Amino acid sequence: MSLCQDRVVIITGAGGGLGRAYALAFAAAGAKVLVNDINLPAAEAVAGEIRANGGQAAANSGDITDYAASAGIVRAAIEQFGDLHVVVNNAGICRDRMFASLEEADWDAVMAVHLKGHFCIASHAVKYWREQAKGGKTLQARIINTSSGAGLQGSIGQSNYAAAKGGIAALTLVQAAELARYGISANALAPAARTGMTEQVFADTMKKPDEGFDYFAPENVAPLLVWLGSEVSSGVTGRMFEVEGGKLSIADGWRRGPQVDKGGCWQPEEIGAAVAQLVEQAVPAQKVYGT
């Protein structure tokens, strides 16, 4: 039996790039895929490609930034395929500017698509799954979120994007901790791949080679998604994966580092020496992208 045989999967932003690669890979593994994209013709093209290859898929253009519309996306998957097992939050946009030039609209748009979009779809899926669990059903449900290296370590000119992606990383930790009791896992990934967004910035670096291994192909990321969406990944939750080419790693999150304890209240004049000691002992953070 295929790894995701008859599992029902919602993938947002699946009309192209990474989302399309995920949709095709899940379908090849036996899943029934709801291809969501704000661009309906793009979603229909991917769903049609899956069906042409013998798989099951439906297109959907619901707005993930709207809470009520997101309920409709979840409902559409359940009505079309009879159940729901996996939500892949993939959709994203960029509005890159240096922080001093960033406008409120740039901030709001990125937060809406990335951070609120991750909340809206998952919220309705979790309500559906929780009711199933309360009814006695044993679940193997999955939330797969999309963060970014920008969210893990920052990126010059992308304060809005980095903040949203950092929020998604933290959201994933909380989802994993809270939802395990229902049989729901939550993981995230920070992919490095050629997409509509990255091609605008890294066109030369990420271009497809004339021959040999296509290092930045979206298809290199898809196998991890299929595995995470399957039942065999049940022991893995609350993890942040990084994928680049043939490289797969788990990111190390924030953790308490070196400390000094005075045993009482510090005086402002004492702080400088203590901070100098801590900085000397601490492992340096990875550099912000672009520095």
Give buried/exposed letters for 47-57 (b at 16+ CB in 10 A, else e).
bebbeeeebbb
Distance CA 99, CA 61 (A): 32
Q: Are strands 8-11 and 32-36 parallel, antiparallel or unpaired?
A: parallel
What angle, rounded to 10 degrees, do the helices at 104-111 and 159-179 form?
Answer: 30
Residue 165: CB atoms within 10 A of its CB come to 27
Please report the DSSP string for 36-68 in residue order.
E-SSHHHHHHHHHHHHHTT-EEEEE---TTSHH
Q: Are strands 240-244 and 247-250 parallel, antiparallel or unpaired?
A: antiparallel
Distance CA 40, CA 25 (A): 20
Choose, from 116, 155, 159, 165, the residue flagged as catalytic. Answer: 165
Bridge partners of 186, per DSSP, are 143
Rounded to a whole number of angstroms, the CA Rg of the chain reads: 21
Choose, from 116, 161, 185, 233, the residue flagged as catalytic. Answer: 161
Is residue 137 annotated as a catalytic residue, yes or no?
no
Distance CA 223, CA 15 (A): 18
Distance CA 252, CA 40 (A): 38
Choose, from 148, 155, 159, 230, the residue flagged as catalytic. Answer: 148
Is residue 234 annotated as a catalytic residue, yes or no?
no
Is residue 22 annotated as a catalytic residue, yes or no?
no
Please report the DSSP string for 251-275 in residue order.
------------SSPPPHHHHHHHH
- Known catalytic residues are 148, 161, 165
